[in-house]
Amino acid sequence: MNPIIILVHPQLVENIGMTARAMANCALPELRIVSPRDPWPLGDIHRQRMMAASSGADDILENAKHYDTVKDAIADLNYVYATTARGNDMVNRIMTPRAAVPDMIERTSDGQKVGVLFGPERMGLINDYVALANAKITIPLNPDFMSLNLAQTVLLIGYEWYQANDATPENRIRIGKSRPALREEYQKFFDRFEDELDKAGFFVADDMRPTITRNLQSTLGRAEMTEQEIRSWHGVLSALVDGPKRKKKS
């Protein structure tokens, strides 16, 4: 069960479309709209402008539900978060998006229906609506320049939701069609490398050999090469050693 995105009095149909686009990026399917400026259902022209702004997130918009009041839009929910940038004097539980998401996950896995309220462009949510929610979500960003548009705010909440539910490895080497080289393949290449350097008279001072060897080996090790790349480097070594001679042979 995903959190439900609830737009309160959105002013521009383009922003409803862009919100749907942001939601689709984050695999959030359910949108509710409370009394937008342009009466719902939209006329053809407004509808077209909304659809164009959604870049193909049509399903979300087709299935969006309209409500007359915030109270109606949240009536069947167990827990409601209100997004807001502004400080006010109300006593509130305030969470960052990063803390709100585990809270959402815990509730939804428990069978609860949760929703997130987003206020109109520029204005944000009025206090009366914030008071209807259980908690507030405030995105920590540069206090000297807070200028997120509606769809960006939805995107950041949706992004956090998606990350928490996603298992993409955080840091990995992508190896394409090859496979990570075996230590044996590294070692064979390196033995040959060292041998050729020896023949070429690279090791002028014998006492430096262990250090230099270790450093060269370490460079290649850090690169985490694939089997394919080891073969390429064998070719590189052959070319450098044989030089133009090799070309003449062919």
What x/- string results for residues 48 through 67 when contact with its own copies is judged by CB under 8 A?
-------xxx----------
Structure tokens at 228: 């394919």
Q: CB 158 → its own copies: shortest distance, Å?
A: 8
The phi and psi torsions of 2 (rounded to 5 degrees) equal -95, 155
Q: Which residues of 89-109 are buried (b: 16+ CB within 10 A; e: fewer)?
A: eeebeebebeebbebbbebbe
Instruction: Using CB under 8 A, pick the residue from 44, 76, 128, 166 that binds its own copies.
Output: 166
8 Å CB contact between 115 and 80: yes
Q: Are 245 and 200 in contact (CB under 8 A)?
A: no
Residue 126 interacts with its own copies (CB under 8 A)?
no
Beta-carbon contacts of residue 101 (< 8 Å; ≥ 6 apart): 160, 161, 163, 164
Nearest to its own copies of 171, 211 (CB atom): 171
Q: How many CB atoms lie within 10 A of CB 207?
A: 7
Shortest Cβ 99–its own copies spacing (Å): 4
Residue choice 44, 76, 128, 170 for contact with its own copies (CB under 8 A) = 170
Kindly state whether residue 16 participates in binding its own copies, applying the rule CB under 8 A.
no
Tell me the HSE value of 134 on the side-chain side, using a 13 A CA sphere. 14
CA pair distance 83, 135, nearest whole angstrom: 9
**The binder of its own copies chosen from 6, 116, 156, 230 (CB under 8 A):** 156
Site map 86..125 versus its own copies, x via CB under 8 A = -xxxxxxxxxx-xxx--x----------------------
Question: Which value, in Å, is the radius of gyration of the alpha carbons in the chain?
Answer: 29
Instruction: Choose, by CB under 8 A, the member of 41, 111, 140, 201 that binds its own copies.
Output: 140
Query: Which residues contribute to the site for its own copies (CB under 8 A)?
Result: 21-22, 24-27, 55-57, 87-96, 98-100, 103, 136, 138-142, 144-148, 152, 155-156, 159, 162-163, 166, 168, 170-178, 224-226, 228-229
